[in-house]
Homo-oligomer: A and B are copies of this chain.
Amino acid sequence: MNCIQKEFTISAKSRGFHSITGEVISNLPNISNIESGIAQIFIKHTSASLTINEDADSTVLLDFESHFNTMVPEDQPYYRHTYEGSDDMPAHLKASLLGSSVQIPVTGGKLNLGTWQGIYLCEHRNHAGDRKLVVTIWGS
């Protein structure tokens, strides 16, 4: 078995959900050497997150943004962490609901995703900067 790792940056995105499957695949280090293993993608931020979902119809991305805004509304009276703006505390909550990493099987040198699956970058801030990701691949 071996383990390879690479850190890279995704340029700033607008608030919402974005498919980054192609961008992640182009940054996977030497995945073709792995017959059976796992690729992890990790985001080093607390107001953006990663998830796996439907990668064919872009209205799914829009509905994710609408629903998360309803389920985690801004300006709730019980928020105390408010000094970074109305979008900040909801961003932290959404980030934990979705998670900081995805772990995907690698089979025959490729990500073994289902037919419809892709990787989303979930940007929860109104005016975010670039986002740092770490890819780690291990297997035999």
Contact = CB atoms under 8 A, between A and B. Distances in A.
A139 B2 CA distance: 8
Residue from A53, A78, A81, A96 having most chain B Cβ neighbours under 10 A:
A96
Interface residues of A, number: 63
A62 interface: yes
19 contacts: A3-B36, A3-B37, A3-B138, A3-B140, A5-B105, A38-B138, A40-B105, A42-B105, A43-B114, A46-B117, A59-B80, A62-B81, A64-B92, A66-B79, A67-B93, A97-B97, A101-B102, A101-B103, A103-B103
Interface of A: 1-5, 7, 36-38, 40, 42-46, 51-54, 57, 59-60, 62-64, 66-67, 70-72, 76, 78-81, 89, 92-93, 95-105, 107, 112-117, 120, 132, 134, 136, 138-140
